[in-house]
Chains A and B, each alone.
Chain A
Amino acid sequence: MFEVLWLIPAMPLAGFFVLAVAGSRLPRAGVAFIGVGSVAISSAVALWIGGNFIWWPPQEQAVTQTLWTWMDVASFSPRLGLRLDALSTVMVLVVTFVGFLIHLYSSQYMIDDAGYARFFAYMNLFMASMLILVLADNLLFLYLGWEGVGLCSYLLIGFWYEDPTNARAAVKAFIVTRTGDTAFAIGLFLLFNTFGTLQIQDVMTRASQQWAAGSATATFAAALLLGGALGKSAQLPLQTWLPDAMAGPTPVSALIHAATMVTAGVYLIARTHVLFELAPAVQGAVAIIGAATLLVAGFSALVQSDLKRALAYSTISQIGYMFLALGVGAWSAALFHFANHAFFKALLFLTAGVVIQSAHHEQNMLKLGGLRKQLPLAFWVFLIGASALSSFPLVTNGFYSKDQIIWYAWSSPLGNSWLWAAGLLGAIVTAVYSFRMVFLTFFGTAKTHTAHRPSQIMSIPLVVLAVLSVVSGFVQVPHWLGNTRCFSAFIETALPSIGEGPVVAELVSTVIVALGTVLGICLAYVFFGGKWPYADAIAESARGAALHRFLFAGWGFDWMYGMLIVRPFFWITRVNRDDIVDLVFDAVAGMVEVMHHVLSWTQTGRLRGYAMGIALGAVLTIAILVFV
């Protein structure tokens, strides 16, 4: 049954090859059939295998399938294999299912685009890489997937490459994530150098045997892996690429920059959790970075005017929650929020795509408005998505996962009240910006007329995701509300569990978070929903305007990197225009030329001269032999 595991990444890969070779000669229907069909098969296989794994778990709680040995050189023989355990099951199910829905949606969304086949080729390659990333049982294989998704992200952000802005955004995303990837690669070298293997299970076992908790090497290794995770998951201080990455087509933003790829960092940390547990300092840093990121990005999302940029900042913020959970050791809560976030954020992005397409590619929320009547379906599903994002109590999935994270931020042995407060403040801010989007886009006076309503193929994914955004929360319900623990019980077969705190305190925390959310929604209504001019008043005051500029520019991180890195770099390139290192090679070339002139002077062309040379040489040689 588990023998067909390899089909999951292989199907999209096959789809990619077919589309890359024959895509331009196929009709659009054929391209859509291959592009969507390959992911559909992969998704079906994943459902079947995942379902089997969940209902009839194997003995050791994991299935390993060795594909082949890549090379066999001395002691270095990386075995490329797939490993399915609870962690990768969750990832695979979410990635394939959400991926399939987004592919289905794109088959209609991109229908008028000249690069239809190219788009699906890239998307299929992305799916294959992402599935390799989550299924690999070897860090080297995982790194292959890791770089593959980075490449596809670059290609798809710059999909409309005729516009230099998009190309710049793609390059920025690639370079910033590459910064983290380099740290990750160095971490892999360190692990291989220490343990002589990159098999994840072996590395984890040997690490826990050889490294003492808090030892310098363990801290260093964990910090390097964290660097990779920060770049990929757009966390502080490498978060600046994600808002610009919205230059890509909207389904790309939904699939890569919201639901799947950007959570690869979360997966990496969960997958190598042993290392992070051996390095408490780094794990603490994960929590603090998560808390800081969720606030920084949340406040930036408050003032964005571009619908997709606001969603991008909210993605950064929600991944910040996942990092917070990882940092306090609430592994299952992080994964639970990942799954829920994938559903509601994909839903929000896909709905944003519908809105943008209907409104003649207008992304500025301030120029939209009153779309509630014109796009009723989009309105309702966006409302569900925004409620889930702002963790509206009891009826949305976001509530169950985010509430859990905030609770563990306080109750976990690694948590403290500051992290709890950051999570709570983040929840309020999230509610404000989520409903700001709803009010600005769907309420108020209509400023644009809509072109067309979404077709059925585009509506199906929206409805499915909207349903999931409600029901997927019910698999993990807190103690005071029925105590369903399906999700954490499943995840804890692969990851350590976290101790339970007092039930009453958990209830109090939940109520405070719920009140905070409702307060945030009310604030959003007061500022953006009603007719009151508070928001404009703040924006027009001097301090308000300055704050607005500061937050709008994402806390000035781009400016800071511009000053610290980009401008000095350009200065160096200007100074070093003629390349200092080149002087060495120029000197070598010059010396050769001088020697050439000297030696060509001896080349007289006269036979007797050469004979003289030979004779003198012979005399000299004999003299040396005889007298020395």
Chain B
Amino acid sequence: MAPVPVEHGLLLAGILFALGTVGVLVRRNILFILMSLEIMLNAAGLAFVVSGAAWAQADGQVMFIFILTIAAAEVSVGLALVLQFYHRFKTLDADAADRMRG
């Protein structure tokens, strides 16, 4: 099986990252925002793995493990915040928390 060309891998990572970004920007539900963030993180991880494979370096996979760790930590904090958010506002709409406007 021929190896996947590096351009394809990077293109996929780019598309995933763009999708994630759009999701963060357009979604109002805070849970979906968190999920979009996960997609962005994994897009970055994919870019690392693809580049690591292309240059035959282990660094890419090491970075992916770091990203997984960060994602786990971020999700645990993020979900705690979501719980508090829901507890206070009785909704998951991120725009409901706009009291810190100038």
Contacts and interface: CB of A to CB of B under 8 A. Distances in A.
A and B: bona fide binding partners: yes
A608 B95 CA distance: 8
B102 A599 contact: yes
Contacts of A612: 25
Contacts of B94: 606-608
Given A599-B102, A602-B102, A603-B102, A608 B97 contact: no
B99 interface: yes
Interface in B77-102: 94-95, 97-102
Nearest to A616: B25
A607 B21 CA distance: 13
A605 B98 contact: yes
A599 B101 CA distance: 11
A600 B101 CA distance: 8
B100 A605 contact: yes
Interface residues of A, number: 13
Interface string A595-617: 00001111111111001100100
A602 B101 CA distance: 8
Contacts, number: 37
Interface in B48-90: none
Contacts of B102: 599-605
Contacts of A605: 97-102
Nearest to B99: A605
Interface string B16-31: 0000010011101000
B33 to A, nearest CB: 8
Contact of A611 (B25, B97, B100, B101): B25
Nearest to B28: A608
Contact of A606 (B21, B26, B98): B98
A602 B24 CA distance: 19
Nearest to B94: A607
B40 to A, nearest CB: 10
A603 B25 contact: no
A601 to B, nearest CB: 7
A606 B95 contact: yes
Nearest to A611: B24
Contact of B25 (A600, A602, A615): A615
A498 B97 CA distance: 96
A611 B25 CA distance: 7
Contacts of A606: 94-95, 98, 101
B21 A615 contact: yes
Interface in A311-360: none
Interface string B27-50: 010000100000000000000000
Determine which residue in B24, B97, B99 has the highest number of CB atoms from chain A within 10 A of its CB, and name it. B24
Contacts of B24: 608, 611, 615
Nearest to B21: A615
A605 B101 CA distance: 4
A424 B27 CA distance: 107
B77 to A, nearest CB: 15
A608 to B, nearest CB: 6
A603 B97 CA distance: 13
Interface of A: 599-608, 611-612, 615
Given A603-B102, A604-B101, A605-B99, 4 more contacts: A602-B102, A607-B33, A607-B94, A615-B21
Q: 8 closest pairs, A vs B, by CB?
A: A600-B102, A603-B102, A605-B101, A605-B98, A605-B100, A607-B94, A606-B98, A604-B101
